[in-house]
Amino acid sequence: MAITIHHEITLPAAPARIYETLVEPARFAEATGAPATGDASGFSAFGGHVLTRHVELVPGKRVVQAWRAKTWPEGVWSIARFELAGKDGGTKLVFDHENFPEDMKDHLDKGWHANYWDKLRGLA
């Protein structure tokens, strides 16, 4: 059985704003307060600690990324899937993360909350 992380959260910003923050390095850096650089194909975040490659982008609705921490073994990538839907003037975000090193589950689970969801709650 695959190791996965599943979160369902509601954020105050519209789906388009959440989408832009997840795919545009400058907006991501602004929202999280952590350095991010890159282009339309993906980006490096948190000072190079996290690398992403966009696999599927549906503006305002879905972001699928190949995602890895730089400390993982070479060639090891996971899949992070963000499904966005409007809800009460904000966004319902359904998130699934899979295929990461098994011993990273607790660390990643906490990290998604602290470094992503808690920061995205500050967007309007």
pLDDT digits (tens, 9 = 90+) for 3-52: 899 999 999 999 999 999 999 999 999 999 999 999 889 999 998 999 99
pLDDT digits (tens, 9 = 90+) for 55-79: 999 999 999 999 999 999 999 999 9
Every domain of the chain and the residues it spans: 4-120
Q: Which CATH code of 3.30.530.20, 3.40.50.720, 3.10.580.10, 1.20.120.1200 fits the domain covering 4-120?
A: 3.30.530.20
What is the 3-class SS of 59-80, one letter each residue?
CCCEEEEEEEECCCCCCCCEEE
Average pLDDT over all residues of the chain: 94
Three-state secondary structure call for residue 38: strand
Q: Is the pLDDT reported for residue 1 higher than 60?
A: no
Label residue 90 by pLDDT band (50, 70, 90). very high
What pTM was computed for the model? 0.94
